[in-house]
């Protein structure tokens, strides 16, 4: 197994222990294009749920303060949780896929 496969998979598996830090470090330290590609996608996939969470909070709080119901706040948070679960599973699958190549 090559080092580039291990580093690429580690970028995806970092969702367990250092979701933002490790892919950024790997992206800027390693010179291999394939590893950079996987580190970039891992970082973006780690950012997606956070962006969705922030957006759902903004939309939810806006709807509550403008006379909306609490369900308008909870539904986006539930959808964000589902999106996070999908991204979490996707990172695991991609890490395994990179390791088995």
Whether the per-residue pLDDT at 79 is higher than 90: the answer is no
51-71 burial by CB neighbour count: b if 16+ within 10 A, else e?
ebbeebeebbeebeeeeeeee
Q: What pLDDT band is residue 80 in, cutting at 50, 70 and 90?
A: confident
Q: What pLDDT band is residue 85 in, cutting at 50, 70 and 90?
A: very high
Q: What pLDDT band is residue 8 in, cutting at 50, 70 and 90?
A: very high
Whether the per-residue pLDDT at 65 is higher than 90: the answer is no
Both structure tokens of 81: 């949780």
- Cβ atoms < 10 Å from Cβ of 15: 24
Whether the per-residue pLDDT at 72 is higher than 80: the answer is no
Q: Which comes out higher in pLDDT, residue 72 or 57?
A: 57
Residues sharing a CB contact under 8 Å with residue 61, sequence separation 6 or more, in sequence order = 73
pLDDT tens digits along 18-64: 888 999 999 999 999 999 999 999 999 999 888 888 888 888 777 77
Between CA 24 and CA 32, with CA 30 as vertex, the angle to 5 degrees is 120
Q: What pLDDT band is residue 12 in, cutting at 50, 70 and 90?
A: very high
């Amino acid at each position: 197994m090559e080092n580039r496969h291990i580093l690429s998979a580690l970028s995806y598996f970092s969702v367990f222990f250092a979701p933002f830090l490790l892919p950024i470090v790997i992206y800027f330290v390693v010179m291999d294009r394939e590893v950079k590609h996987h580190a970039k996608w891992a970082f973006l996939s780690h950012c997606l749920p956070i962006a969705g969470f922030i957006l759902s909070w903004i939309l939810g709080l806006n709807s509550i303060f403008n006379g909306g119901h609490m369900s308008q706040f909870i539904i986006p948070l539930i959808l964000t949780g589902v999106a996070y679960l999908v991204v979490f599973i996707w990172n695991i699958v991609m890490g395994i896929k990179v390791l088995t190549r």
